[in-house]
Amino acid sequence: MKRLLPVFLLFLSGLCYGRTTLELTLGETVSAAINHSPALKALKAGLDSKRAGASSLESLLYPRVLLEGSFKYQSETQEITLPLPGTEKTVKLGNNWNMSAGLSAYYTLFDKGADEKKYKASLASLKAAEKEYEAEKRSVELAARMAYFDLKLALERISFLEDAVSVVKSQYEEIKLKVKAGLSAKQDELRAHQELNSRLIDLINARSAFARSFRELATLCGKWGEVNPAAALPAGASSADGTQATLYISLEPTEELLKKIPLSGKTVDGHPSLLSMEESVRALRLLSESLRAGLWPRANLAFRSSLDYPNGIETSSYWQNSAFLSISVPIFESGKTKSREEEQKLKALSAQEMKNGRKNEIEKGWLNAKDRLLSLLSRKKLMEENAAESEEVASLVYASYRSGSSTYLEVQSANLKALESRLLKAENDIATLAQMAVLAALEGE
């Protein structure tokens, strides 16, 4: 009950004020995307299938004990005539009804390691599937992070434009009063109104972009389908354009997010997709060796203990214990085994080349992301300074305009520069997070 209390209070506040707050953390978003991913669910089912297949092949390495029985009826049985003193007697050598029931044990005594290599190949295939699952999990994690960062940038654009609209609206109202008082020209009022409209148009576009980003994240996570992103605002924001918000969305601060994407610094050699392909090559080579072993003799040993009926001419049952040794050697099969062996060898060679190509792609992406990240980090401080100074300049220019020392065109330029500087800084921060996420996805284990 104590855990449900905060949820109840949040729901109650939403009822009272017609709105609520949706707090999204990066970790929860990634977990939701992983749990929802159809691709991961499909790979998990395939992984379980391969695990069952490997267990089945392992059984070939051990003896098999079976309870076996047979029942047979034959219309004719052999007979012999025994010459007895003074007469002859016909005796049946068996019975029309024949039955046998008992335990049988079978074991492969020698097969040049064919079954063992087949089992090892299944284990390698299983390990390849496990690594493929890990690689897909990284892809889903990266997609969730990118969607989260895209949503954060969309929210920050709305927040910055809300601030810009509030500033321009305040300036516009003040300029209208000055025009009425004859202290400013009518063209300043018109330019201020045009700037206000431009910022409102930018805000409408930003809301549309945010709605797309939110739906992308919601689809990826399989959640929040009932939320209307068109009526959402960043947490703590006020609607400068009069939009009635029914939901406030809160995301983690950028500085906190930078700490939540750890980089190990390892090379791409241990990337799960490369390890998966390596195990696939190994599995194909083991299958090739298993097929080649099929050219050698194969010896099978069997034991049986059964209750049989009839016992020759006696119509009674009896216990029979027996042992069997069978040996088979392929003499002629039109090259079937050799062709299948060659097929697996060529598949292994093809898989190896695919792995080499994949490694080159991952390594190129990793190096590009690393270079891009260094570039973004090196200009982070410069952009922070530009954003702070541009806002200060915008305030100073408007103060100068109010005193009659500057024109409104200079005010417009300073306002736009301040907005652009804030947006560029936010884009640089989000791009930094994105490149860190890419590096984390491409690093080795």
The percent of residues above 90 in pLDDT, for the chain, comes to 61
CB 347 within 8 A of CB 136: no
Between strands 247-251 and 232-234, the pairing is parallel
The residue ranking higher by pLDDT, 6 or 172, is: 172
What average pLDDT score do residues 54-71 get? 91
Structure tokens at 435: 């490149």
Q: What is the pLDDT of residue 6?
A: 39
Sheet holding 247-251, edge to edge: 20-24, 247-251, 232-234
Which residue's entry shows tokens 């079954």?
Answer: 115
Q: What is the pLDDT of residue 4?
A: 38
Which residue's entry shows tokens 């024109």?
Answer: 407
- For 269, counting Cβ atoms within 10 Å of its Cβ (0-12 exposed, 13-18 middle, 19+ buried), the class is middle
- For 268, counting Cβ atoms within 10 Å of its Cβ (0-12 exposed, 13-18 middle, 19+ buried), the class is buried
CB 31 within 8 A of CB 221: no
Q: Taking the mean position of all CA atoms in its chain, how far away is CA 436?
A: 18
Domains annotated for the chain, with CATH where assigned, are 4-36+111-295+330-442 (1.20.1600.10)
Confidence bin at 7 (pLDDT 50/70/90): very low
The residue ranking higher by pLDDT, 160 or 242, is: 160
Candidate from 2-6, 48-52, 155-159, 169-173 with smallest mean pLDDT: 2-6
Structure tokens at 102: 């008992």
Whether the per-residue pLDDT at 94 is higher than 80: the answer is: no
CB 232 within 8 A of CB 241: no
Q: What is the pLDDT of residue 395?
A: 92
The reported pTM is: 0.82
